[in-house]
């Protein structure tokens, strides 16, 4: 341990690097999507908009000029995103992805000496992984933290985080992950605190998760903090295809398509929930385009059996919710395939 601390000091790195952390370092990061068996025929493991891809966004990405660099300052794009959200362009910080921005924000806080990190009991693993990389200490409450995360709607459950009110009052650097905000299917979202950062990743909403692009919005009056976060980024964090995606995201045609897709997803979600309940699955209440459920069968046998049939679900153990799975809402054809596979599982 002493060698690690000394090595960090010799390299001029902050003392947080190399120290013990309350967050376990992952052996491997867990995500949905393709795996060693390739692309599942019916991929319930990700939360992309199953109505997608958005035609306008897809056309923009396909027409992107990949032969040239984007503007390194993203001047026009930041102005467009700022107008879309009704903020000043200086508050918009470009990011390669939400995950990249999570690690960058954690690094920014750690470089200022912030070590105490709060995150929800059930949350995206990259929050904890970034804290572990910087030797973060787990804060018991948002009020005790230097950096506090929230996601609205939350993942994997899809509701409002029970500690949201306490998170909103904390004096820490607060970041609201808005990955699923455009895919909220019912109810109103809670108010965003004026002193909170917002992290936006439209690729899920547009059904184009393979295009990596994101942006953060700094709180009002924190232009210096936005500049500091930009300074920690490499040049051109967003490529030409990501720029095209984000430009399309702000266009009325894409927003109209998204609104129509939410109506479709509501019907698909009701159908999918009813099917799962007929198989004895317990569903947790949620408002987003996915469901979190507890099957009656042990996951150790169920998940490989379904995967062999081309169906992939998301094990929620990495969300600190063992015995549960998260299922993105898919079209009826995929729901039928899952229904048939579950019936076959019972017969076997």
The 10s digit of each residue's pLDDT in 113-144 is 999 999 999 999 999 999 999 999 999 999 99
The 10s digit of each residue's pLDDT in 210-220 is 999 999 999 99
Q: Residue 16 pLDDT > 90, yes or no?
A: no
Strands 173-177 and 147-151: parallel
- For the record, the structure tokens of 107 come out as 């690094």
- For the record, the structure tokens of 134 come out as 């910087």
Nearest to 325 by CA among 51, 47, 121: 47
- Express as a percent the part of the chain with pLDDT over 70: 91
How far is C-alpha 323 from the chain's CA centre? Answer: 21
> Mean of the pLDDT values across residues 180-184?
98
Scanning 23-157, the segments in alpha helix (DSSP H) are 55-62, 75-85, 98-111, 125-133
> Mean of the pLDDT values across residues 8-12?
31
Higher local confidence (pLDDT), 27 or 7: 27
Cα separation, 268 vs 265, in Å, equals: 5
Identify the pLDDT of residue 18.
44
Is 219:87 a contact under the CB 8 Å cutoff? Answer: no
Question: Distances in Å between the alpha carbon of 78 and those of 60, 86, 105, 347?
Answer: 17, 12, 19, 56
Confidence of residue 162 (pLDDT cuts 50, 70, 90): very high
Identify the pLDDT of residue 214.
98
The 10s digit of each residue's pLDDT in 227-261 is 999 999 999 999 999 999 999 999 999 999 999 99
* Mean confidence (pLDDT) of the chain: 92
> Mean of the pLDDT values across residues 153-175?
96
Higher local confidence (pLDDT), 34 or 59: 59
Q: DSSP letter string over 23-61?
A: SPPPSS----S-BTTBS-SEE-SS---TT-S-HHHHHHH
Identify the pLDDT of residue 106.
98
Q: Residue 4 pLDDT > 60, yes or no?
A: no
> Mean of the pLDDT values across residues 90-94?
98
The whole-model pTM stands at: 0.91
Cα separation, 109 vs 73, in Å, equals: 23
The answer for residues whose C-beta is within 8 angstroms of residue 2's C-beta and 6 or more apart is: none
Strands 137-138 and 147-151: unpaired
């Amino acid at each position: 341990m002493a060698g690690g601390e000394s090595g960090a000091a010799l390299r001029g790195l902050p003392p947080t690097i190399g120290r013990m952390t309350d967050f376990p370092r992952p052996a491997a990061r867990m995500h949905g999507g393709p795996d060693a068996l390739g692309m599942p025929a019916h991929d319930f493991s990700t939360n992309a908009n199953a109505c997608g891809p958005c035609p306008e966004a897809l056309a923009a990405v396909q027409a992107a000029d990949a032969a040239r660099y984007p503007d390194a300052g993203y001047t026009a794009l930041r102005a467009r995103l700022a107008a879309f959200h009704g903020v000043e362009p200086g508050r918009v910080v470009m990011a390669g992805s939400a995950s990249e921005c999570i690690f960058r924000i954690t690094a920014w806080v750690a470089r200022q000496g912030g070590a105490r990190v709060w995150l929800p009991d059930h949350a995206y693993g990259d929050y904890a992984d970034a804290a572990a990389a910087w030797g973060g200490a787990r804060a018991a409450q948002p009020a005790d933290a230097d950096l506090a995360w929230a996601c609205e709607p939350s993942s994997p459950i899809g509701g409002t985080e029970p500690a949201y009110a306490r998170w909103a009052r904390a004096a820490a650097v607060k970041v609201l992950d808005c990955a699923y905000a455009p895919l909220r299917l019912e109810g109103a979202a809670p108010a965003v605190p004026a002193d909170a950062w917002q992290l936006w990743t439209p690729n899920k909403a547009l059904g184009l998760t393979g295009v990596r692009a994101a942006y953060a919005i700094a709180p009002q009056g924190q232009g210096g903090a936005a500049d500091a976060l930009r300074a920690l980024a490499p040049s051109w964090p967003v490529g030409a295809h990501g720029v095209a995606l984000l430009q399309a995201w702000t266009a009325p045609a894409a927003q109209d398509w998204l609104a129509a897709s939410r109506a479709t997803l509501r019907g698909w979600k009701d159908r999918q929930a009813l099917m799962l309940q007929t198989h004895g699955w317990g569903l947790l209440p949620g408002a987003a385009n996915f469901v979190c459920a507890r099957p009656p069968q042990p996951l150790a046998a169920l998940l490989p059996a379904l995967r062999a049939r081309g169906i992939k679900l998301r094990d929620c153990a990495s969300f600190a919710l063992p015995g549960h799975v998260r299922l993105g809402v898919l079209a009826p054809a995929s729901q039928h395939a899952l229904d048939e596979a579950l019936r076959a599982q019972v017969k076997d």
